[in-house]
Structure 1
Amino acid sequence: MGFYLFKKVPLNLSSLKTKWNTVLFIVQLLLVFLNISTDSLLANITILLAYISIEVVRIVWANQIASFSKKLTYFEEQSMHFNDTFRLVRNERHDFLKHVSTIHFLLEKGEHNKAKSYLDELVGGYEETNLSIKGERGIVAGVLHQIYKKAKASGISVVYDFDIPLSALPLSDRHMVTLLGNLLSNSIDACEAWQQKTNESSLITVQFFKRSGLYIFICKNNTLPIPTNILDNLFHSYGNTTKSGDHEGLGTKMIQEIVQQHQGFLDFIFKNEEFSVKIKIPAMR
């Protein structure tokens, strides 16, 4: 009842499917009948503990399956984005000589203004791709490029200010995708809500640099006011989210777990409708 009333952990009981939920329910029902048929206090306590243990196993097992399914779906999406980025770079390389020939033709005809406009448009597209892929390993470039495109489609400005490539972080591809994907997706969601409320343009700034043996990652974005009860538990427990709809608040806790696994430190500040997350991770592998 405590889990249901206070929701200190997410409940994903449907992940076990009907078969296993039925088996566990039957076992618990048998324990109830056994409890009724005995007058021994010790036996009753033992049965109660067994009943509670089964429920704990059900919740933990279901959450593990739900978490695995969520991660699997997320990585499939990121793999698709990585392939899209790879195809984009390949297409740009394939068409590069054609663009050069077009510009050369326009210059030969003396149409300098058209050549300049064509070149500006071409460079703008290349800069967008280059922001995401320069110096990054493939999986990181895919995430950054996908986030950049998604933000741009929503009218959100994104600034990547990296002293060194993000790929320098001593994280596996799996952890890198989870960390970046959740942080930046949350930033986009917050900016979209802020734009709808204020009718102003929003901004996401991502900084990455190395200082005194630490990799420092900072992400800032506009956001609507966040309730104090959410802020107090953000990044520390599941089920805390400012989003409406079918959101379980898993992302922020997953971010914190990854930072802790790498002996890092996470801090966040909400001030003047701006949310800032700072992550410090030791520069060791």
Structure 2
Amino acid sequence: MRNVYTKVTLLLTIALIALLIANNLIYYFISKEKLERQEVDNLKSQAQAIHNILDHSREGSAYVERLVGEKLRAVALAIRSRLDPDIDNVTNEELDALARELAIDDVTLLTKEGEGFVLARSSKREEIGLSTNKWGLWNKVFLELYEKKNVTAIRWGDALDHYWTGPYSVSDTNAEEFYKYGYYYDGTTNYIINPFVSNASIRQYEQTIGIASIIGSITASDPSILEIAGFNPTALGRERVVAKTSSGQTYTPRYYAPVFFGTNAYAHEELDEKEIRRAIETKASTSYKADVNGRTILKTFIPVFTDKIDELGLVTDNSVRELEQNLDYYVIGIAIDYRSIQNQLNGILLEMGMIILLVTVVCMLLLLLLNRYFSRSKDQTAIEAQATYVEEMNVLFNNIREQRHDFVNHINTIHALAQVGKYGELRAYTQEVVGEIHDINEMLHIGNPPLAALIQSKLVQAQRKDIRFTYAFSNMSGFPQGVRSVDFVRMLGNLIDNAFDEVAKVEPEQRTVELTGAIEAGRLRFIVRNAGSIDEAVMDRIFESGVTTKPGGRNSGLGLPITLAIVRRYKGTIKVENDNGVKFTIEIPVAS
């Protein structure tokens, strides 16, 4: 039995540890998902902040650019006043001197030729002779200016009286250079005046407080952020767009560049394209985790929808002068080193490991203590049950020995009464002897020695307390093997003792206790009935520990709870009712 209990204890320990490990693994993966979600939420906040700062930055850039555009108009007015209105009377050297004097990079003069214009004079000699016929919308601007109309052909740049300036644009003679061009014509000359300056001022502004500076500050403050980039969705899944300057140089216009700003060194071409498209389609942030360039990265894409793409400086070159579509969104991508999350997860895993180890040790100690406690409790219960069993058997055997010892005295008495002829006294005496022997035979016919011993001991107790204790059993010869004798002795013993205590409260002539037992229809049934009654309020709680009907609450009130526990152990039932006295009924299913 002890080996079985040890195995059960071991299995319970293993099950508890397995449950604990499973619980902590679930917690680990929930924490992993939560950390990733928190990191994505943080990146979304970063992206929104970048977009907001970018908006403000471009507002500042636009303001600086407007100032430059206004300066170029003032320069154009000065040039008009200093030059001959006829292009034939203007030299390139004059333009060189004016550019130096007015602190601009260069100045070019455009003359009308057919449906376009030719760059006729310039301080930048390589521009001389270029035609605007293939400049699309910009050529329309020049035609509107030449007709002294307000510029409406293009939505970019700034239009003033007799003047228009576009955004910073790539140079037609050098694709590496960007300039701010201004165009002035009021009809007093036969040429359009075109002063321009490089984007040095804007570059300086960008380096100080622009997007590059912002990205640098963010990555410096959070080392886990590897890079930030502004992605161009229109460049996804298409070949690289190549444009040519008038001088034949090739380049990719910023409008068609895959990355508007920042860097994309940690690129996964397939996943980047897939997640960017999904971000645009769902209008929600998306993420993926992958190994790129020897690192595990978590890359998040946040779509940004805005009608200020032009103001963000993304349309800045002559190659898109005929662009008709509006781009009103872009995607901010942020790549972080997944080690930052993994380090937190490793910390959680370490903590969980320590917790599992600690709880395992505690559980083992508790189970060891419980094992010792229940072993002792079990041993003590067995000892007490065995003592009860032995006591009841001793009472029975002592009674039999006493009757056997008295048998000679009975014979001598009978013989003496017969000799003196006192037959009436002889008849009464022999009836008493036969009745006592009949009682012993009835007990022996019960068919179960422990039960017979219990009945004998309770008969002795009843005689001492002046209680009429009767019993009747049927079909008990085949007592079920599944029910331990120790258990039913404890059950019946508790019920009979309680019945004796109850009838002790009434007059002797009312002190009756009945016990019946039978095995019928696959059930073992015992009924203990005694005179008196139980209050209904007490009856509802009669099987609770500590509840007792004894005067002053004496004794522990544990007999009935113990009886209930034993009955339930055998999947039986016990009930109490007021039925011609107090009636307790126990029923236990047994194998047929």
TM, length-normalised to structure 1: 0.66
- Say whether 1:151 aligns with 2:462: yes
**Relative to structure 1, is the Cα distance of residues 58 and 239 closer, same or farther in structure 2, using a 3 angstrom cutoff?**
farther
Letter in 1 for 2:585: K
Displacement after TM superposition at 1:169 (Å): 4.6
Q: Deviations 1:204-230 (Å, cap 9, x if unpaired)?
A: 1111223322222111112354361x3
The one of 215, 232, 236 equivalent to 2:524 is 215
- Contact 2:468–2:511 at 8 Å: present in 1 too? yes
- Say whether 1:247 aligns with 2:556: yes
- Say whether 1:276 aligns with 2:583: yes
Letter in 2 for 1:133: L
Take 1:64 and 1:269, find their aligned partners in 2: how far apart are those partners?
Answer: 37
List gaps (5 residues or longer) in structure 1.
1-53
Take 1:182 and 1:191, find their aligned partners in 2: how far apart are those partners?
Answer: 15
Larger radius of gyration, structure 1 or 2? Answer: 2
Letter in 2 for 1:232: D
Displacement after TM superposition at 1:77 (Å): 4.1
Give every structure 1 segment of 4 or more consecutive aligned residues whose post-TM-superposition deviation is greater than 4 Å: 61-71
Displacement after TM superposition at 1:246 (Å): 3.1
- Aligned partner of 1:135 in structure 2 is 446
Take 2:554 and 2:379, find their aligned partners in 1: how far apart are those partners?
Answer: 21
- Contact 1:266–1:280 at 8 Å: present in 2 too? yes
How many residues are matched? Answer: 235
Displacement after TM superposition at 1:172 (Å): 1.0
Take 2:381 and 2:521, find their aligned partners in 1: how far apart are those partners?
Answer: 36
Q: Deviations 1:136-194 (Å, cap 9, x if unpaired)?
A: 332221111111111121111111121233872542121122111111111111111x3
Q: Deviations 1:44-68 (Å, cap 9, x if unpaired)?
A: xxxxxxxxxx9xx999x98996797
Between Structure 1 and Structure 2, the one with more helix by share is 1
**Relative to structure 1, is the Cα distance of residues 253 and 167 closer, same or farther in structure 2, using a 3 angstrom cutoff?**
farther
TM, length-normalised to structure 2: 0.34
Letter in 1 for 2:527: I
- Aligned partner of 1:184 in structure 2 is 496
Take 1:58 and 1:120, find their aligned partners in 2: how far apart are those partners?
Answer: 61
List gaps (5 residues or longer) in structure 2.
1-364
Between Structure 1 and Structure 2, the one with more strand by share is 2
Identical counterparts, % of pairs: 22
- Aligned partner of 1:175 in structure 2 is 487
What are the within-5 Å matches in structure 2 for residues 1-285 of structure 1? 69=380, 72-73=383-384, 75-96=386-407, 98-165=409-476, 168-170=479-481, 171-192=483-504, 194-195=505-506, 200-226=509-535, 228=537, 230-235=538-543, 237-243=544-550, 244-249=553-558, 251-271=559-579, 274-284=581-591
- Contact 1:140–1:167 at 8 Å: present in 2 too? no
Take 2:535 and 2:441, find their aligned partners in 1: how far apart are those partners?
Answer: 34
Q: What CA RMSD, in Å, does the superposition of the two structures yield over aligned residues?
A: 3.8
**Relative to structure 1, is the Cα distance of residues 128 and 105 closer, same or farther in structure 2, using a 3 angstrom cutoff?**
same
Displacement after TM superposition at 1:86 (Å): 0.8
Take 1:238 and 1:117, find their aligned partners in 2: how far apart are those partners?
Answer: 50
Which structure is richer in relative contact order (CA contacts within 8 A, separation 6 or more)?
1
